[in-house]
Structure 1
Amino acid sequence: MINWKVNLAVLWVGQFFVMAGMTMIMPFLPLYLKEMGLQDAQEIATWTGIIFAGNFVTSFLFQPFWGGMADRYGRKVMLLRSGFGMAAVMTTMGFAHAPWVLLLLRLVNGTISGYAPASVALMSTNTPREHIGFAMGTLQSGAVAGSILGPFIGGLLAELIGFRYIFYVTGAMLFIASMVTMLLVKEKFNAAEAKKQPKISVIQGYKDLRPIRQLPTLYSITFVIQFSIQCSMPLMALFVEELHGTGELLAFYAGLVASITGFSNMVAAPLLGKLSDRIGPQRILFVSLIGAAIFFIPQAFVQNVWQLMAARFCLGIFIGGLLPTVNSLIRTYTPVGMESRSYSFNTSALALGNMLGPVIGGALSGFLNIRELFLFATVMLAINAAWSYRTLLGKHKISDGAL
């Protein structure tokens, strides 16, 4: 019998280390480029954007391939491939001597990444169905905690040990997480049966899944979540400055506003996941989409930083109910033997939202201010909620459950 609670604890730590390692470079990346010899501010800004996005570009392209491999050879193998591979690449980043080298390594890192979707696929296929919602929510909280604390830890370490040594620390963290995964995570996987299945391409795999009408809806929800959050982020610091004015605490408030959504997300995700085990993930998903759409609205009308933080804290609560229920529902609707492939397409949708959100948000800033971008996000989420209600709740009336 697989001890799913041990798996969950180990993979929670692994998710935390992976996401913290991926985001640690955010606060000091421009300074690291300056240390390499770049001086022009515009050049530094351009390279920063390209290097940061590089990871998501290759992740978007390669995740479906690794998902197919996981369905054929096992999810734990993909966890170890990704974990040890990223540990080596992150350590190598500490030796980068030019921006193009760092970009190349970020592209390689995105190519071999896949710890998160493999974790989700392994947990979903090795957890009792009555606990899947709780497991998905808890796993999500580990990733969010890493995303929140990664930039903070990175900034702190930059002051203490310097930029290059952070990559060595990150590589060591990923190596330790991979070792613990190898020793403690157990998987129930029938390799002989999986090998009997015909080999299919990524495109054919998508064609096989596309007729399941719920899956495109779930992938779109993942994309819209990330896009909605990220499209306003390039302007967030300027918006905080507009509300607060210039001063010594401006950077602190800007960081707090950016991270407070993650804090409430981290707390809410396991609780809403557990509730979804009782009343159904479809209901939690629909209510969370409506709630997220609603709490983008007050952000367009706030008059001070504290009001903005309160609105974004409430937004994070509903965001916490989205990705775990999406992952739970993907497991429900995906045919047996194609779970990893299905989750990998969802990860590609996540990477696409992370990629296009800041780019399109920055482009729209020439026509819309940040308050109007918040309302734009509301419209996107509302449309997505209507589509999800029609696709996912058509056979699940609200009166059937607690809601």
Structure 2
Amino acid sequence: MQRWKINLIVLMSGNFLVFAGMTMIIPFLSLYLKQDLGLTDNHEIGLWAGLIFAANFVTSFLFQPLWGKLSDKYGRKLMLLRSGFGMSIVMVLMGFATEPWHLLLLRMLNGVISGYTPAAVSLVSATTPKNRMGFAMGTLQSGGTAGAILGPFIGGLLADSFGYRPIFYITGSFLFLASFISWLMVRENFDRSAAALKKQVSVVKGFRDLMVIRQLPVLLTITFLIQFAMLSPMPLMPLYVQELHGTTENLAFYAGFVGSVTGISNLISAPLLGRLSDRIGPTRILLISLAGAGVMLIPQAFVGSVSQLLIFRFLLGCFMGGLIPTVNSLIRKHTPDGMESRSYGFNSSALSLGNMLGPVMGGLLSGLIGIEGLFILSGILLFLTCIWATRALRARRST
């Protein structure tokens, strides 16, 4: 088997373990704050959940460009292992938190050392033939999506049976296993001696050099807007499920199922849309996916039952499979060889910024417009992003 395919399989599996571990507790964060850490006011819970969820992405936004620079200097695999083993330790420590601010600080630390998935994307992009990039990016995301599917589902079952704290210890174990498998099996043809001889520029200078490439600022902005729109309603999703479900019986299971169903359709659609993007171009897939995701977000504000919510979340996932993978494909297409890690580092910062501001704004706005209003606003934002991206990317191609 070709080396790029072996790396892709291993890193897809690693992505699965990372996302399975990370999503076991995040969908139930508001319930954890309410039942284990003693918060009672729903608005206070929503605000804390948004801040804690976003804290990881605040520090990730700041540090990802640095890890991207070091990745180009010392190798992508080293950054992969640094992130994976470090996050496994931090995640276990979260199981010992007794106050909301404990979780806040640990999430910030997790963001400092995070970066398994961006490193995996960078490594795959550097070793995959360009004519197979759409397939590779879609397949890599499908591994993370599969983990995101099973993570909330398993976490819901464990939470109903044992409570929330054990999930942190299992999450740490998953992250450690993903890092260990990557250490054993991933191979990277990286010449550190040659990299050391290259002139090293600062993070700011590297950013300026990349932003001269006309397509990259547009793509980074699209990444930010996608994550901002998708994450805004998430801190209050378990409470929304509780409102629709009408009882606390098996609540964690249903909240996990709502989180999982989007991943199921995403898992199916990402490789298919990736193959299609190799044939008709990633730009078309990106624009169609933006419009489709916007359509599927708005009806979620008007559902009357959990089953109706599940239908629209499933359809949303079908279009989500064509968002970030196609952006990654386009970034690789327009980035000069040898600068892939920096490019993906900055894109990871844009993603983290969206992940950070989305939940915070969602938590702040929840007291005014509720989660129903957040669904509507998010859908409109994706529509506007689609219109702007159509014009911006077309203008870049014509210049």
What TM-score does the superposition give when structure 2 sets the normalisation length? 0.88
Instruction: Find out whether 1:195 has 2:196 as its counterpart.
Output: yes
Root-mean-square deviation (Å): 3.0
Q: What letter matches 1:4 in structure 2?
A: W
How many Å separate the matches in 2 of 1:290 and 1:173? 35
SS of alignment partner, residue 26 of structure 2: coil
How many Å separate the matches in 1 of 2:247 and 2:92? 38
Q: What letter matches 1:41 in structure 2?
A: T
What TM-score does the superposition give when structure 1 sets the normalisation length? 0.87
Q: CA deviation at 1:52?
A: 3.3
- Structure 1 stretch displaced more, 56-65 or 361-370: 361-370
Q: CA deviation at 1:339?
A: 0.8
- Structure 1 stretch displaced more, 191-200 or 47-56: 47-56
Q: CA deviation at 1:188?
A: 2.2
How many Å separate the matches in 2 of 1:250 and 1:96? 23
Unaligned runs of 5+ in 2: none
Unaligned runs of 5+ in 1: 398-403
Alignment partner, residue 40 of structure 2: 41
Q: CA deviation at 1:118?
A: 0.4
1:221-300 → structure 2 map (5 Å cutoff): 221-237=222-238, 239-240=240-241, 245-246=246-247, 248=249, 252-300=253-301
Q: Measured at CA, do residues 29 and 309 of structure 1 come closer, stay the same or move farther in structure 2, by a change above 3 Å?
A: closer
- Structure 1 stretch displaced more, 62-71 or 140-149: 140-149
Alignment partner, residue 21 of structure 2: 21
Q: Measured at CA, do residues 300 and 145 of structure 1 come closer, stay the same or move farther in structure 2, by a change above 3 Å?
A: same
How many Å separate the matches in 2 of 1:249 and 1:163? 14
SS of alignment partner, residue 190 of structure 2: coil
Q: Measured at CA, do residues 368 and 163 of structure 1 come closer, stay the same or move farther in structure 2, by a change above 3 Å?
A: closer
Q: CA deviation at 1:213?
A: 2.2
Q: Measured at CA, do residues 305 and 395 of structure 1 come closer, stay the same or move farther in structure 2, by a change above 3 Å?
A: same
Instruction: Find out whether 1:6 has 2:3 as its counterpart.
Output: no
Q: CA deviation at 1:162?
A: 6.0
| Contact kept in structure 2, 1:296 and 1:374, CA below 8 Å | yes
Q: Deviations over 1:206-255 (max 9, x none)?
A: 21111222112211222222221222234444555565545746665444
1:297-308 → structure 2 map (5 Å cutoff): 297-308=298-309
| Contact kept in structure 1, 2:94 and 2:103, CA below 8 Å | yes
Q: CA deviation at 1:133?
A: 0.7
Q: CA deviation at 1:388?
A: 1.9
| Contact kept in structure 1, 2:14 and 2:182, CA below 8 Å | yes
Q: Measured at CA, do residues 103 and 263 of structure 1 come closer, stay the same or move farther in structure 2, by a change above 3 Å?
A: same
Alignment partner, residue 347 of structure 2: 346
1:1-400 → structure 2 map (5 Å cutoff): 3-26=3-26, 38-42=37-41, 48-96=49-97, 100-158=101-159, 163-237=164-238, 239-240=240-241, 245-246=246-247, 248=249, 252-394=253-395
Q: Measured at CA, do residues 41 and 173 of structure 1 come closer, stay the same or move farther in structure 2, by a change above 3 Å?
A: same
How many Å separate the matches in 2 of 1:290 and 1:45? 28
Q: CA deviation at 1:338?
A: 1.4
How many Å separate the matches in 2 of 1:111 and 1:363? 25
| Contact kept in structure 1, 2:153 and 2:253, CA below 8 Å | no
Q: Measured at CA, do residues 89 and 274 of structure 1 come closer, stay the same or move farther in structure 2, by a change above 3 Å?
A: same
| Contact kept in structure 2, 1:282 and 1:393, CA below 8 Å | no
Q: Deviations over 1:58-93 (max 9, x none)?
A: 111111110111111111111111112222322344
SS of alignment partner, residue 199 of structure 1: coil
- Structure 1 stretch displaced more, 238-247 or 207-216: 238-247
- Structure 1 stretch displaced more, 42-51 or 8-17: 42-51
Q: Deviations over 1:337-362 (max 9, x none)?
A: 21111111111122222221122123
Q: What letter matches 1:189 in structure 2?
A: F
Q: CA deviation at 1:382?
A: 2.1
Count of aligned residue pairs for this structure pair: 396
Q: Measured at CA, do residues 253 and 162 of structure 1 come closer, stay the same or move farther in structure 2, by a change above 3 Å?
A: closer
Identity of aligned residues (%): 61
Q: Deviations over 1:84-136 (max 9, x none)?
A: 22223223444556554443332222101111000000000101112111110
How many Å separate the matches in 1 of 2:28 and 2:370? 27
Q: Deviations over 1:16-74 (max 9, x none)?
A: 111222222336656776898x5453577765554433222211111111011111111
